[in-house]
């Protein structure tokens, strides 16, 4: 098993929000986080920001902001849902 630095694990944690990771990145990053409290907290913070952002966008979309067309709201919602399950949906 390859041991990674905290800096590399932070990069992997950030990348994980936007893209699918290679198996080695998942395993090595996960193993590192099992032993490293600061990296566990960093990943938890990233996840919390992602959830809060997603919720804020949904709240704004549900509020009926008339400046954004319904088609755009629907596209954003589909993209957020696809990202939540690890899919990739083109904008």
**Tens-place pLDDT, residues 7-26:** 999 999 999 988 889 999 99
Domain range spanning residue 21?
Answer: 6-84
Is 89 within a domain? no
HSE (CB half, 13 Å, CA atoms) of 16? 20
pLDDT of residue 87: 52
Number of domains in the chain: 1
- Whole-number Å distance between alpha carbons of 8 and 20: 16
Is 90 within a domain? no
- Whole-number Å distance between alpha carbons of 17 and 21: 10
pLDDT (tens digit per residue) in 45-88: 999 999 888 888 777 666 655 677 888 888 888 888 887 776 55
pLDDT of residue 91: 43
Mean pLDDT of the chain: 84
pLDDT of residue 60: 66
């Amino acid at each position: 098993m390859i041991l990674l630095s905290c800096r590399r694990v932070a990069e992997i944690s950030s990348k994980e929000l936007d893209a699918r990771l290679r198996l080695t990145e998942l395993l090595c990053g996960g193993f590192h986080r099992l032993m490293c409290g600061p990296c566990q907290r960093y990943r938890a913070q990233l996840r919390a920001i992602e959830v809060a952002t997603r919720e804020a966008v949904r709240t704004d979309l549900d509020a009926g902001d008339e400046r954004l067309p319904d088609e755009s709201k629907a596209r954003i919602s589909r993209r957020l849902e696809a990202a939540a399950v690890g899919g990739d949906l083109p904008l």
